[in-house]
Structure 1
Amino acid sequence: AAVTARATDAGVRLAAYVSPPAGEAAPDADALLDFLRTRLPDHMVPHACLVLDRLPSTSTGKVDRKALPEPRFEADGPAPPRDETDRRIVAVWQEVLGRADFGIRDNFFDLGGHSLLIPQVVLRVNRELGVTLPLRVLFRSQTVRALADEVRAAGTGRPVTETSRSEVDA
């Protein structure tokens, strides 16, 4: 597998390239991305995944990044809320940030959020969703998607940590 950063009109996007071992079936690209979303922070999940018969290599055996095909990225519109928890957090962010042009994978700080707005966001999320999240939660969960995962975990009593987010099954 290899991952590259590609410049697009919408900004830099990550593209993953996967090649199955000889004799094994090719993985499903969408299923692989869904799996990565459960294991990696949002900013590390590729925007596209291409399955190749084999990765191109240089004469020294390294991946020839220049020979990798151009990926096709999905529409660059904002990712919509998945459920009611996402919708309620989006509503809080819209009110606090004063904008509605973002999706659940967009970063709070990239949208104009800053440390002085964190107490407003966290207190409103706590009140709106009946949880008790600490103020620091928005520093580690900077997207609606990640914050919603924190809310869900708080409802089950199971903490969400960077380790549990990126832990890979053995």
Structure 2
Amino acid sequence: MSPRPPAIKIYNHPVSLLQDQGRVGSALRGELIHHALFFLDHCSVREDIERAVLQAFSLQGVDRQRWAVEEEYLTPIVNALSLPQVRQWFKQGVMNLREVEVVDAQGEVHRIDRLVIGEGVLEVIDFKVGNREEGHRAQVELYQRLVEAIFGRPTQGYLLYIDEPAVVVVR
């Protein structure tokens, strides 16, 4: 008898016409905002954010004419990036990694939205669009454990809620 092949995990996130269009729109909005924040290495002026949002729309192949770009994207991002703590993460000269993929001991891939590399501590930042949910803190705590194991340095975790805007400290 031949050995059984290792288990394969398949993740499928279908976006179909059968789904709730509100949820589909919210998911796409969240994805576009994450892409825009990825394009922002450092940010000092509103034009940087506008450019990043347009890049996100282009990357996704989304017609920006169908969206309220100013109120759904630019204003929430500008407001979130105006918070004092957040300005520090996007300041010129601050070393950061964006959309960092790390693998846990079980082989699961996790994507950290922004990892700010400071002298004493690594800051693990996860961006959230929409409402606060119970599992958000646990997600950042997991990312912190993974980063600490990889780099052997202490971490500080944060959740940045774009729509509120608010920063939540996680351990």
- Considering fraction of residues, name the structure with more helix: 2
Alignment TM-score, normalising by the size of structure 2: 0.23
Q: Which has the larger radius of gyration?
A: 1
- Considering fraction of residues, name the structure with more strand: 2
Alignment TM-score, normalising by the size of structure 1: 0.23
